[in-house]
Amino acid sequence: MAFDLPNDFRCPISLEIMSDPVILQSGHTFDRVSIQQWIDSGNRTCPITKLPLSETPSLIPNHALRSLILNFAHVSPKESSRPRTQQEHSHSQSQALISTLVSRSSSNASKLESLTRLVRLTKRDSSIRRKVTESGAVRAALDCVDSCNQVLQEKSLSLLLNLSLEDDNKVGLVADGVVRRIVAVLRVGSPDCKAIAATLLTSLAVVEVNKATIGSYPDAISALVSLLRVGNDRERKESATALYALCSFPDNRKRVVDCGSVPILVEAADSGLERAVEVLGLLVKCRGGREEMSKVSGFVEVLVNVLRNGNLKGIQYSLFILNCLCCCSGEIVDEVKREGVVEICFGFEDNESEKIRRNATILVHNLLGIPMSS
């Protein structure tokens, strides 16, 4: 009868049965090969506790554990022949890839191969995403983002994007300096790298504290606005989505407006990018945003076109924007009336969206000067 060896016999890094267990000064035991690779890669913290290690950490042989492993293996020799599960195989594979990535002696070609395979593994496996983060590979991936090799840069950004899917990683990635790399890529990267970088900002901005950090970072917002202005379809869509995520934090709205974004967003909305309408729906909540929108010639026509042809979310935001602008300007009220918006709003009486019905009703009352009943 075969027995599973206890988990304590497995190295916390490689998850394989230890052949030469050694004790680190933190008190935790690792297989000598795995912890030596960790140290040789420049890491000076315990992989488990994250506590600092000395410059030349000592590795003390754990003879007692080694004897236990050997004795247990003698009692249950079939363990070594037990077929590994897919998860065990993936974890073992990922450890080798991580070791290659973090090694200072690895060539760009071998790092690219490791990154490519890690991107595939981390896309579908949360436990591997955590393992990559805990192994210290984030620093190596960030270094690859700084590379002049665009393919290496793209794969490292893709890996960081996958790692950011874990909520626990989002703040850590920002603390490790990922925003600086993203801004640099948004400025001078390849089109694919720029799109991935903008998507990574969106993922990081899920956490409230990151919205403030990213928004206040020099050139982060202006780089997104610039990409929205000159990028291809994918770049513009991803940059608008990142701006939308950041503008849910009120302090960022003025920053986005001050970068001259409003005319660019209006033009993008006119070209069919409805995410741009959603960003404008957040910017209209600040006075500067409303003032800039009132200056853009043809803006009302753009919104009316969305009311006639847009999706539900675009219609909802267009109605909200028109309501905000009509409350501030009699001239806009007249223009909105001339565009036949009252009749359009009547057509929303049976709309499936409660928000659209409510915003349409409010807009009709604003345009016709009818007080809303309490």
* Residue 105 amino acid letter: S
- Rg, the chain, Cα only: 28
Per-residue confidence (pLDDT) for residue 373, from 0 to 100: 58
DSSP label of 57: -
Tens of pLDDT, residue by residue, the chain (374 residues): 344 567 788 888 888 888 888 999 888 999 888 888 888 888 888 898 888 888 888 888 888 888 777 776 555 444 444 455 566 656 677 888 898 898 888 889 999 999 999 999 998 888 899 889 988 899 999 999 999 999 999 999 999 999 999 988 999 999 999 999 999 999 999 999 999 999 999 999 999 999 999 999 999 999 999 999 999 999 999 999 999 999 999 999 999 999 999 999 999 999 999 999 999 999 999 999 999 999 999 999 999 999 999 999 999 999 999 999 999 889 999 999 999 999 999 999 999 999 999 999 999 998 998 776 54
> Helix %, strand %, coil % for the chain, to 5?
70, 5, 30
Per-residue confidence (pLDDT) for residue 3, from 0 to 100: 47
Per-residue confidence (pLDDT) for residue 2, from 0 to 100: 40
Per-residue confidence (pLDDT) for residue 84, from 0 to 100: 52
Question: In the chain, what are the domain boundaries?
Answer: 7-61, 297-373
Per-residue confidence (pLDDT) for residue 261, from 0 to 100: 98
Closest CA to 265 of 252, 249, 277: 277
Give the span between the Cα atoms of 95 and 99, in whole angstroms. Answer: 6
- Laid out side by side, the sheet with 60-61 consists of 29-31, 21-23, 60-61
Query: Any residues with CB less than 8 A from the CB of 297 and at least 6 apart, and which?
Result: none
Per-residue confidence (pLDDT) for residue 93, from 0 to 100: 79
Virtual torsion, Cα 290, 292, 297, 300, nearest 10 deg: -20
74: tokens are 């003698």
Phi, psi angle pair for 60, to nearest 5°: -95, 120
Give the CATH H-level superfamily of domain 7-61.
Zinc/RING finger domain, C3HC4 (zinc finger) (3.30.40.10)
Per-residue confidence (pLDDT) for residue 80, from 0 to 100: 46
Per-residue confidence (pLDDT) for residue 77, from 0 to 100: 45
